[in-house]
């Protein structure tokens, strides 16, 4: 049973897009994020830092760093900067030379609303 989307939130839930409760969903790693994650992993390995130590220094969770390194964690520029600073690296070193994703290849949700919708004025 699919429920009506709640337009007061900015992100669709899995049930909103037809995924049932308890159903497993296979999510593919994003190639761009996987490349960024691989560079973070290389930097971390070259500095001989564990994920735990890096997480503490960057103010992030170990799980988030693991997801990022695997290409599943989407990271903001601010968080990526904190991560690179904790590695004594350069942000350009992590993101330069990676081809940007093609806009046509980006996945699209059936709907998306940002913010809240104000009641109609009469």
Tell whether 66 is covered by a domain.
Answer: yes
CA distance 19 to 88: 42
Which of 102, 45, 101, 36 lies closest to 69, judged by CA? 36
**pLDDT score of 103:** 61
Sign of CA dihedral 14, 18, 22, 26: negative
Q: Per-residue pLDDT for 12 more than 80?
A: no
**pLDDT score of 46:** 93
Q: At what angle do helices 31-46 and 62-69 cross, to 10 degrees?
A: 120
In the chain, the number of structural domains is 1
Q: How many residues does the chain have?
A: 122
| Residue 60's CATH number | 1.10.260.40
What's the pTM?
0.61
Instruction: State the average pLDDT for the chain.
Output: 76
Tell whether 92 is covered by a domain.
Answer: yes
pLDDT tens per residue, range 72-96: 888 888 999 999 999 998 888 888 8
Percent of the chain with pLDDT over 70: 60
Q: Per-residue pLDDT for 55 more than 90?
A: yes
57 SS3 class: helix
pLDDT tens per residue, range 18-52: 666 666 666 677 788 889 999 999 999 999 999 99
Tell whether 71 is covered by a domain.
Answer: yes
């Amino acid at each position: 049973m699919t429920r009506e989307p709640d337009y007061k939130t900015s992100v669709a839930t899995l049930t909103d897009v037809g995924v049932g409760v308890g159903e497993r969903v296979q999510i593919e790693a994003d190639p761009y994020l996987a490349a960024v994650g691989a560079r973070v992993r290389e930097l971390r390995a070259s500095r001989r830092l564990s994920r735990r130590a890096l997480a503490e220094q960057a103010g992030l969770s170990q799980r988030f760093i693991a997801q990022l390194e695997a290409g599943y964690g989407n990271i903001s520029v601010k968080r990526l900067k904190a991560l690179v600073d904790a590695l004594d690296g350069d942000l350009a070193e992590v993101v330069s030379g990676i081809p940007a994703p093609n806009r046509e290849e980006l996945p699209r949700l059936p709907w998306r609303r940002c913010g809240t919708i104000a009641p109609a004025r009469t």
